[in-house]
Homo-oligomer: A and B are copies of this chain.
Amino acid sequence: MQSHDNLAPVMSGISPTPHRVGTPADSETDIGTRIHALAARLFPICRSITGDGVRETLGILGQHIDLTQHEIPTGTQVFDWVVPPEWNIRDAYIKDASGRKIINLAESNLHVVSYSNPIHRIMQLSELKAHIHTLPDQPDLIPYRTSYYSEQWGLCMSHNTFLALEDGDYEVLIDAEKTVGHLTYGEYLHKGTSDKEVLLSAHICHPSLANDNCSSLALLTMLGKTMRARNTHYSYRFLFAPGTIGALSWLAENEARVGRIDHGLIVSCVGDGGGPTYKRSRLGNATIDRAMESVLCTGNRQAIMQDFSPYGYDERQYCSPGFNLPVGLFQRSGFGTFPEYHTSADNMTFITPENLALSFRIITEVIDILETNWTPVNLFPKGEPQLGRRGLYASLGGDKSAGQTSMAFLWVLNLADGAHSLLDISLRSGLPYTDIFHAAQLLLAKGLLRNGPNKTAKH
């Protein structure tokens, strides 16, 4: 029998009072401010799937957590893929005949198609046009485009800038190079008492896009930093890797050890005010999926819950049939659903400390569930035990309904048959896990429950 005292210190300290998603507590704005500030430092850096932008970013994250930087050589086979050449860029612009710079990498690193081949030539507008990408429906915005794994060059600009281009000669410079080098990713392990792991991963390959994904890089870093003070059961692996090839590289290097991952979350776009959105793992009913449902959908909370589909972020790799790991995707607005997505409007004004704080809170609540979930067994299973004489029930009767606190006691006692964990009880009752947990801890302390064998293993 696990005692109350063993369990109590595990909770994150977040108030058990259920808040509507969308309304963070005042005390949480501080963490939001710190995440926002870190994201702002990352925003200007020109990242891609390889190159110094990733290293510079990891360097900043490493000022907060004890990050290990991994370098995978160009040409390394990772499953069906090969680590590509390292891409670095120094400068890029288009100058018109008068020498005026139409676009300039220094102003926005979205101006260059990521992984573009280098070029430096004078050319006619007609030739140039074939290499320019714009968004006719959002004429003020610069699109974000990539050309990984293909040999082409390209530049991006607002459609209005494009329409204003006059015939004539233009000097086009993309001072980039693809060289034999490395793919870089960063990893931080928060050690728990168990070597079973929770994977928390954010893609690091996007350049100056604030929500996608400076928000998540900063949030996970601050989460890792915060957790240093917490003794956990699980070990928590934080991964900051380029999309697809980075996740595949990590999987290839850790193939023998992926069985340690009991739960996982891909995190992206966590700074805007949309959603929250959760896409379930391929398993569909893993503990991580159910914990997310409890956090996002009990009480009065509402969220967008999606079944797994094989398009998105790196859950595509973790949930491929050869791995089929219990890894879901957490976002605020879902990718592709907000107009700022993959444009220059995804900037630092698009994400806010309040939204980041709420996203932080949601992930923390999920971790609280993973850490604290247990299976109660009612020691007075015949009828209800008398809560009133234990101070657990209002002394005056006749009101229309039991309060939410009383309901939590009643649900825990009724489902404490050894077949339902606290997470199960939260989902069955529709009450927030925090309410169920605190009710169960009080009942345990009062001697009404014992801690049963944990029947809700891994997934």
A interface vs B, CB < 8 Å? 78-81, 113, 133, 143-150, 152, 154, 244, 247-248, 251, 255, 282, 309-311, 316-317, 319-324, 335-336, 341-342, 378, 380-386, 388-389, 395-402, 406-407, 410-411, 413-417, 429
Contact = CB atoms under 8 A, between A and B. Distances in A.
B149 A382 contact: no
A388 B81 CA distance: 10
A414 B323 CA distance: 11
Most chain B CB inside 10 Å of its own CB: which residue of A251, A385, A414, A417:
A414
A327 to B, nearest CB: 13
Chain A interface, DSSP helix/strand/loop, else mixed: loop
Given A150-B395, A383-B80, A385-B80, A410 B322 contact: no
A336 B402 CA distance: 10
A413 B381 contact: no
A386 B81 contact: yes
Given A321-B414, A389-B149, A311 B401 contact: yes
Q: 5 nearest interchain CB pairs? A: A322-B381, A322-B382, A310-B414, A146-B397, A310-B410
Contacts of A399: 342
B402 A311 contact: yes
A410 B311 contact: yes
Contacts of A382: 79, 251, 255, 320, 322-323
Contact of A384 (B244, B341, B397, B407): B244
B145 A321 contact: no
A80 to B, nearest CB: 4
B255 A317 contact: no
Given A311-B410, A414-B310, A148 B383 contact: no
Contacts of A411: 309-310
A146 B381 contact: no
A133 B396 CA distance: 11
A413 B79 contact: no
A132 B311 CA distance: 64
A300 B384 CA distance: 38
27 contacts: A78-B383, A79-B382, A113-B396, A143-B398, A145-B397, A145-B398, A147-B396, A152-B395, A247-B383, A248-B383, A251-B382, A251-B383, A311-B401, A316-B383, A316-B384, A316-B410, A316-B414, A319-B414, A320-B384, A321-B378, A321-B381, A321-B416, A322-B378, A323-B383, A324-B417, A335-B400, A341-B400
